[in-house]
Amino acid sequence: MKTVQVAEIISQGGRAGSAEAPDGSFSVKFTPLSAHDPRGVTPEHLFAAAYAACFHSAVLAHAERAHFKLVGSTITGRVSLNENNRGEYELGVELRASMPGLARKDAEHLLHEAHTTCPYSKAVRGNVNVTLTLD
């Protein structure tokens, strides 16, 4: 296997701390979970952004192979942090796609194809509930 990309991030302080690249090219401060202030940045935001971007690239690659022209397509990633009945935390993911101008059956086909090849989908398969939605 050939390594294409390596991302390195240093976490300090966990969910109430920060994460940054060793070279300073990326830095984020996390906001502790609070029922009183649901705004702010959490690790789930970063996972949603990364998964949505990767999944969108997979959709675009499959569209190109199928000779579909996608203009203005978007993928919205929603990641939820859920507590199960044992008090353990689990993630849930919704990937919501918008593919203007594409027939619904073709768009659904692209979503399912992308879900088979996207590295994030492969990484969470069998462990995280992922819902694919088409606007």
Buried-exposed string 65-93: b where 16+ CB fall within 10 A, e elsewhere: eeebebeebebebebeeeeeeeeeeebeb
The parent domain of residue 71 ranges over 43-134
Do 31 and 90 have their domain in common? no
Same domain, 9 and 60: no
CATH of the domain at 78: 3.30.300.20
* Average pLDDT of span 59-76: 97
Q: According to the model, what pLDDT value does residue 63 have?
A: 98
Number of independent structural domains in the chain: 2
pLDDT above 90: residue 3: yes
Sequential DSSP letters for 43-95: HHHHHHHHHHHHHHHHHHHHHHHTT----S-EEEEEEEEEE-TTS-EEEEEEE
pTM: 0.92
Calculate the average pLDDT of the chain. Answer: 94
pLDDT in tens, 31-67: 887 656 667 899 999 999 999 999 999 999 999 999 9
Summarised one tens digit per residue, pLDDT across range 106-125 is: 999 999 999 999 999 999 99
Q: What is the mean pLDDT of residues 79-90?
A: 94
Do 29 and 52 have their domain in common?
A: no
| Residues 112 and 92 placed together within one structural domain of the fold | yes
| pLDDT over 70, % of the chain | 96
Q: What is the torsional sign of CA 102, 105, 106, 107?
A: positive
User: Could you tell me if 52 and 18 lie in one domain?
Assistant: no
4/18 same-domain check: yes
| pLDDT score recorded for residue 6 | 94
Distances (CA, A) of 84 to 27, 89, 93, 111, 131: 31, 6, 15, 28, 18
**DSSP for 118-130?**
-HHHHHHTTTSEE
Q: Does the pLDDT at position 102 exceed 70? A: yes
